[in-house]
Protein backbone atom coordinates (compact mmCIF):
# COMPACT_ATOMS: atom_id res chain seq x y z
CA UNK A 1 0.00 0.00 0.00
CA UNK A 2 1.48 3.36 -1.07
CA UNK A 3 0.66 6.35 1.14
CA UNK A 4 1.19 9.98 0.17
CA UNK A 5 2.71 11.05 -3.13
CA UNK A 6 3.34 7.94 -5.29
CA UNK A 7 5.87 9.78 -7.48
CA UNK A 8 7.94 10.66 -4.40
CA UNK A 9 7.70 7.05 -3.26
CA UNK A 10 8.93 5.74 -6.60
CA UNK A 11 11.73 8.32 -6.72
CA UNK A 12 12.91 7.35 -3.22
CA UNK A 13 12.72 3.68 -4.20
CA UNK A 14 14.88 4.28 -7.29
CA UNK A 15 17.44 6.18 -5.21
CA UNK A 16 17.52 3.48 -2.52
CA UNK A 17 17.86 0.61 -5.00
CA UNK A 18 20.56 2.47 -6.95
CA UNK A 19 22.53 3.04 -3.75
CA UNK A 20 22.15 -0.64 -2.92
CA UNK A 21 23.45 -1.68 -6.33
CA UNK A 22 26.45 0.62 -6.02
CA UNK A 23 27.30 -0.77 -2.59
CA UNK A 24 26.99 -4.36 -3.81
CA UNK A 25 29.16 -3.67 -6.85
CA UNK A 26 31.97 -2.11 -4.82
CA UNK A 27 31.69 -4.25 -1.69
CA UNK A 28 35.20 -5.28 -0.60
CA UNK A 29 36.59 -3.71 -3.77
CA UNK A 30 39.82 -1.85 -3.06
CA UNK A 31 40.04 -0.07 -6.42
CA UNK A 32 36.33 0.82 -6.55
CA UNK A 33 35.75 3.58 -9.11
CA UNK A 34 38.90 2.68 -11.06
CA UNK A 35 37.21 -0.51 -12.27
CA UNK A 36 34.69 1.68 -14.10
CA UNK A 37 37.41 3.04 -16.36
CA UNK A 38 39.87 0.12 -16.36
CA UNK A 39 38.01 -2.00 -18.91
CA UNK A 40 37.54 0.66 -21.64
CA UNK A 41 41.11 1.91 -21.14
CA UNK A 42 42.44 -1.64 -21.47
CA UNK A 43 40.40 -2.15 -24.64
CA UNK A 44 41.65 1.19 -25.96
CA UNK A 45 45.23 0.03 -25.43
CA UNK A 46 44.61 -3.25 -27.26
CA UNK A 47 42.89 -1.57 -30.20
CA UNK A 48 45.57 1.15 -30.34
CA UNK A 49 48.31 -1.46 -30.69
CA UNK A 50 46.32 -3.53 -33.19
CA UNK A 51 45.06 -0.76 -35.44
CA UNK A 52 47.43 2.19 -34.97
CA UNK A 53 50.75 0.47 -34.37
CA UNK A 54 50.31 -2.70 -36.44
CA UNK A 55 47.78 -1.78 -39.12
CA UNK A 56 48.66 1.95 -39.24
CA UNK A 57 45.06 3.17 -39.34
CA UNK A 58 44.95 6.78 -40.49
CA UNK A 59 42.94 8.36 -37.68
CA UNK A 60 44.39 11.34 -35.83
CA UNK A 61 44.60 11.22 -32.02
CA UNK A 62 43.48 7.60 -32.15
CA UNK A 63 43.60 6.99 -28.38
CA UNK A 64 41.21 9.88 -27.78
CA UNK A 65 39.11 8.70 -30.72
CA UNK A 66 38.81 5.26 -29.10
CA UNK A 67 37.90 6.28 -25.56
CA UNK A 68 35.31 8.81 -26.78
CA UNK A 69 33.40 5.84 -28.17
CA UNK A 70 34.39 3.09 -25.75
CA UNK A 71 33.22 4.90 -22.61
CA UNK A 72 29.59 5.41 -23.72
CA UNK A 73 29.66 1.95 -25.29
CA UNK A 74 30.62 0.40 -21.94
CA UNK A 75 27.47 1.89 -20.40
CA UNK A 76 25.39 0.50 -23.26
CA UNK A 77 26.98 -2.98 -23.23
CA UNK A 78 26.97 -3.36 -19.43
CA UNK A 79 23.30 -2.43 -19.13
CA UNK A 80 22.24 -4.62 -22.05
CA UNK A 81 24.26 -7.65 -20.98
CA UNK A 82 23.03 -7.49 -17.37
CA UNK A 83 19.39 -6.77 -18.24
CA UNK A 84 18.32 -10.42 -18.79
CA UNK A 85 19.02 -11.04 -15.09
CA UNK A 86 17.47 -7.80 -13.81
CA UNK A 87 14.23 -9.53 -12.79
CA UNK A 88 15.61 -12.96 -11.93
CA UNK A 89 18.25 -11.42 -9.70
CA UNK A 90 15.59 -9.57 -7.71
CA UNK A 91 13.04 -12.38 -7.47
CA UNK A 92 12.83 -12.20 -3.67
CA UNK A 93 12.21 -8.45 -3.74
CA UNK A 94 9.53 -8.82 -6.42
CA UNK A 95 7.71 -11.44 -4.36
CA UNK A 96 7.80 -9.41 -1.14
CA UNK A 97 7.20 -5.80 -2.23
CA UNK A 98 4.50 -4.36 -4.44
CA UNK A 99 6.04 -1.78 -6.78
CA UNK A 100 6.29 -1.20 -10.54
CA UNK A 101 8.69 -3.85 -11.85
CA UNK A 102 9.96 -1.40 -14.45
CA UNK A 103 11.84 0.36 -11.65
CA UNK A 104 14.31 -2.54 -11.50
CA UNK A 105 15.22 -1.92 -15.13
CA UNK A 106 15.53 1.82 -14.57
CA UNK A 107 17.84 1.25 -11.60
CA UNK A 108 20.03 -1.15 -13.58
CA UNK A 109 20.47 1.34 -16.44
CA UNK A 110 20.83 4.32 -14.11
CA UNK A 111 23.61 2.57 -12.22
CA UNK A 112 25.68 2.13 -15.39
CA UNK A 113 24.86 5.67 -16.52
CA UNK A 114 26.32 7.07 -13.30
CA UNK A 115 29.52 5.12 -13.91
CA UNK A 116 29.71 6.58 -17.40
CA UNK A 117 29.25 10.13 -16.06
CA UNK A 118 32.09 9.52 -13.61
CA UNK A 119 34.31 8.44 -16.50
CA UNK A 120 33.88 11.70 -18.46
CA UNK A 121 36.73 13.42 -16.51
CA UNK A 122 39.07 10.80 -17.98
CA UNK A 123 38.07 11.94 -21.47
CA UNK A 124 38.80 15.52 -20.38
CA UNK A 125 42.29 14.47 -19.27
CA UNK A 126 42.99 12.94 -22.68
CA UNK A 127 41.62 16.04 -24.42
CA UNK A 128 44.03 18.24 -22.48
CA UNK A 129 46.88 15.83 -23.23
CA UNK A 130 46.22 16.21 -26.96
CA UNK A 131 46.08 20.01 -26.68
CA UNK A 132 42.30 20.25 -26.79
CA UNK A 133 39.66 21.25 -24.25
CA UNK A 134 35.96 20.67 -23.52
CA UNK A 135 33.55 22.83 -25.49
CA UNK A 136 30.61 24.76 -24.09
CA UNK A 137 28.42 22.58 -26.29
CA UNK A 138 28.97 19.84 -23.69
CA UNK A 139 26.61 21.71 -21.33
CA UNK A 140 23.71 20.96 -23.67
CA UNK A 141 25.06 17.93 -25.52
CA UNK A 142 25.91 15.66 -22.60
CA UNK A 143 22.47 15.86 -20.87
CA UNK A 144 20.76 15.47 -24.25
CA UNK A 145 22.73 12.38 -25.26
CA UNK A 146 22.45 10.96 -21.73
CA UNK A 147 18.67 11.19 -22.02
CA UNK A 148 18.59 9.65 -25.51
CA UNK A 149 20.84 6.74 -24.54
CA UNK A 150 19.01 6.19 -21.26
CA UNK A 151 15.66 5.90 -23.08
CA UNK A 152 17.13 3.61 -25.74
CA UNK A 153 18.87 1.30 -23.27
CA UNK A 154 15.78 1.10 -21.04
CA UNK A 155 13.76 -0.02 -24.05
CA UNK A 156 16.20 -2.78 -24.95
CA UNK A 157 16.59 -3.79 -21.29
CA UNK A 158 12.86 -4.07 -20.57
CA UNK A 159 12.29 -6.41 -23.50
CA UNK A 160 15.33 -8.56 -22.67
CA UNK A 161 14.51 -8.79 -18.95
CA UNK A 162 10.92 -9.86 -19.62
CA UNK A 163 11.67 -12.34 -22.42
CA UNK A 164 14.53 -13.95 -20.48
CA UNK A 165 12.08 -15.17 -17.85
CA UNK A 166 10.56 -17.45 -20.48
CA UNK A 167 13.61 -18.07 -22.67
CA UNK A 168 16.63 -18.44 -20.37
CA UNK A 169 19.12 -18.85 -23.22
CA UNK A 170 18.61 -15.19 -24.03
CA UNK A 171 21.24 -14.18 -21.46
CA UNK A 172 24.02 -15.89 -23.44
CA UNK A 173 22.56 -14.86 -26.77
CA UNK A 174 22.51 -11.23 -25.65
CA UNK A 175 26.24 -11.23 -25.00
CA UNK A 176 26.92 -12.64 -28.46
CA UNK A 177 24.68 -10.03 -30.12
CA UNK A 178 26.26 -7.09 -28.25
CA UNK A 179 29.71 -8.33 -29.24
CA UNK A 180 28.67 -8.46 -32.91
CA UNK A 181 26.97 -5.07 -32.58
CA UNK A 182 30.18 -3.57 -31.22
CA UNK A 183 32.08 -4.39 -34.39
CA UNK A 184 29.19 -3.21 -36.55
CA UNK A 185 29.24 0.17 -34.80
CA UNK A 186 31.93 2.72 -35.76
CA UNK A 187 33.72 2.87 -32.43
CA UNK A 188 37.16 1.48 -33.25
CA UNK A 189 36.89 2.86 -36.78
CA UNK A 190 35.35 5.94 -38.35
CA UNK A 191 31.88 5.88 -39.87
CA UNK A 192 33.50 7.28 -43.02
CA UNK A 193 35.40 4.00 -43.40
CA UNK A 194 32.16 2.09 -44.02
CA UNK A 195 31.83 1.52 -47.79
CA UNK A 196 29.39 4.08 -49.13
CA UNK A 197 27.24 1.46 -50.85
CA UNK A 198 26.69 -0.33 -47.49
CA UNK A 199 26.57 2.76 -45.25
CA UNK A 200 22.84 3.42 -45.52
CA UNK A 201 21.88 -0.23 -44.98
CA UNK A 202 24.16 -0.65 -41.96
CA UNK A 203 22.88 2.59 -40.42
CA UNK A 204 19.31 1.44 -40.96
CA UNK A 205 19.91 -1.96 -39.35
CA UNK A 206 22.01 -0.63 -36.48
CA UNK A 207 20.12 2.02 -34.46
CA UNK A 208 23.13 2.70 -32.21
CA UNK A 209 25.27 4.28 -34.94
CA UNK A 210 23.81 7.83 -34.82
CA UNK A 211 24.08 7.82 -31.03
CA UNK A 212 27.72 6.81 -30.74
CA UNK A 213 28.80 8.98 -33.65
CA UNK A 214 27.07 11.85 -31.83
CA UNK A 215 29.00 11.12 -28.63
CA UNK A 216 32.30 11.17 -30.49
CA UNK A 217 31.43 14.34 -32.42
CA UNK A 218 30.53 16.03 -29.15
CA UNK A 219 33.67 14.98 -27.28
CA UNK A 220 36.17 15.52 -30.10
CA UNK A 221 34.68 18.42 -32.03
CA UNK A 222 32.23 20.00 -29.62
CA UNK A 223 29.50 19.71 -32.24
CA UNK A 224 25.94 18.41 -32.27
CA UNK A 225 24.65 17.32 -35.67
CA UNK A 226 20.89 17.82 -35.86
CA UNK A 227 20.37 14.92 -38.28
CA UNK A 228 22.23 12.46 -36.04
CA UNK A 229 20.51 13.72 -32.87
CA UNK A 230 17.09 13.50 -34.50
CA UNK A 231 17.79 9.97 -35.76
CA UNK A 232 19.07 8.91 -32.33
CA UNK A 233 16.02 10.33 -30.58
CA UNK A 234 13.64 8.68 -33.04
CA UNK A 235 15.35 5.30 -32.65
CA UNK A 236 15.37 5.59 -28.85
CA UNK A 237 11.66 6.41 -28.64
CA UNK A 238 10.72 3.54 -30.99
CA UNK A 239 12.91 1.06 -29.10
CA UNK A 240 11.55 2.22 -25.75
CA UNK A 241 7.91 1.93 -26.86
CA UNK A 242 8.51 -1.59 -28.23
CA UNK A 243 10.44 -2.68 -25.14
CA UNK A 244 7.87 -1.25 -22.77
CA UNK A 245 5.04 -2.90 -24.72
CA UNK A 246 6.78 -6.30 -24.49
CA UNK A 247 7.39 -5.79 -20.77
CA UNK A 248 3.78 -4.86 -20.10
CA UNK A 249 2.47 -7.71 -22.24
CA UNK A 250 4.44 -10.33 -20.28
CA UNK A 251 4.26 -8.65 -16.87
CA UNK A 252 1.21 -10.55 -15.62
CA UNK A 253 3.06 -13.84 -15.96
CA UNK A 254 6.16 -12.80 -13.99
CA UNK A 255 4.88 -14.26 -10.71
CA UNK A 256 4.39 -17.67 -12.33
CA UNK A 257 7.99 -18.03 -13.53
CA UNK A 258 9.97 -16.33 -10.76
Is 102 a domain residue? yes
Range of the structural domain that residue 53 is part of: 33-257
Is 156 a domain residue? yes
pLDDT tens, position by position, for the chain (258 residues)?
455 566 776 677 777 777 776 666 656 555 566 767 788 888 888 988 988 888 888 888 899 999 999 999 999 999 999 999 888 887 777 777 777 788 889 999 999 999 899 889 999 999 999 989 999 999 999 999 999 999 999 999 999 999 998 888 888 899 999 999 999 999 999 888 887 777 777 777 889 999 999 999 999 999 999 999 999 999 999 999 999 999 999 887 776 666
Is 4 a domain residue? no
Domain count, the chain: 1
246 contacts: CB under 8 Å, gap ≥ 6: 158, 159, 162, 163
How far is residue 235's CA from residue 13's CA, in Å, rounded to a whole number? 29
CB atoms within 10 A of CB 250: 17
Is 228 a domain residue? yes
Is 163 a domain residue? yes
Q: What is the DSSP string of 46-88?
A: HHIIIIIIIS----TTHHHHHHHHHHHHHHHHHHHHHGGGTTG
Is 7 a domain residue? no
Is 86 a domain residue? yes
How far is residue 115's CA from residue 71's CA, in Å, rounded to a whole number? 9
How far is residue 229's CA from residue 210's CA, in Å, rounded to a whole number? 7
Structural contact between residues 37 and 127, judged by C-beta atoms closer than 8 angstroms = no
Is 17 a domain residue? no
Amino acid sequence: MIHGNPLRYYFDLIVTLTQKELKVRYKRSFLGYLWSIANPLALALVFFVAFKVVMKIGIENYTLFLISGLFPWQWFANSINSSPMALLGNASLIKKVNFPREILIVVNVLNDMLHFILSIPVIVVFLIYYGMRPDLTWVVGIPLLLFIQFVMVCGFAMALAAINLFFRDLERLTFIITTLLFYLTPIIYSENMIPEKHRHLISLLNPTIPLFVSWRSLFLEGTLHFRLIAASLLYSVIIFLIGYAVFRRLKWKFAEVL
